[in-house]
């Protein structure tokens, strides 16, 4: 049996996504066997951006209207976790935030970028460390 600590090497989850008129969601990150996930968010080319960042995690499955019988649609329903000390805001021409998600109760985690106004090009990296 191995005593290796599970790791999620840093990788780019989102590459220079322009957020300029609507909300945006990162792909979900599988946090199985990890006790901490770290998101590094950077933005540039900001023109008066006002974009909130929130942590989301699924809480169930939804069955689509066309899934009659045994077919179940695996679209997840996502809950937003509003923790004031964790949910930063994108503002200014450029900048960055680091969000550490420790011992999150669910396996999957994603970030939601809520558009309020302005525009910015956003990149997101994620990495993790095991138990």
Map out the domains of the chain with their CATH numbers: 10-128 (2.60.120.1300)
Structure tokens at 131: 């138990």
| DSSP annotation of 92 | S
Condensed to tens digits (0 to 9), the pLDDT of residues 61-106 reads 554 444 444 333 455 778 887 655 566 889 999 999 988 887 666 7
Is residue 128 very low, low, confident or very high in pLDDT (cuts 50, 70, 90)?
confident
- Among 51, 69, 36, smallest CA distance to 112 is for 51
**CA gap 118, 52 in Å, rounded:** 12
Residue 64: per-residue pLDDT = 45
Selection from 55, 18, 50 nearest residue 116 by Cα: 50
3-state secondary structure of 25: strand
CB-based contacts of 24: which residues, under 8 Å, 6+ apart? Answer: 17, 112, 113, 115, 122
Q: Give the whole-angstrom CA distance, residue 16 versus residue 99.
A: 18
Per-residue pLDDT tens over the stretch 14-37: 999 999 999 999 988 887 778 888
Tell me the C-alpha distance between 31 and 39, whole Å. 12
């Amino acid at each position: 049996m191995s005593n290796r600590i599970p790791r999620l090497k840093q990788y780019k989850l989102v590459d220079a996504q322009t957020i300029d008129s609507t909300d945006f969601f990162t792909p979900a990150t599988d946090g199985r066997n990890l006790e901490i996930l770290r998101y590094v968010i950077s933005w540039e080319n900001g023109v008066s951006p006002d974009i909130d960042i929130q942590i989301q995690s699924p809480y169930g499955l939804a069955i689509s209207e066309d899934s009659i019988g045994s077919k179940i649609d695996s679209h997840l329903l996502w809950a937003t976790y509003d923790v004031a000390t964790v949910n930063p805001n994108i503002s200014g021409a450029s900048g960055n935030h680091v969000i550490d998600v420790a011992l999150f109760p669910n396996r999957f985690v994603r970030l939601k970028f809520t558009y309020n106004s302005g525009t910015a090009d956003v990149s997101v990296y994620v990495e993790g460390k095991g138990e």
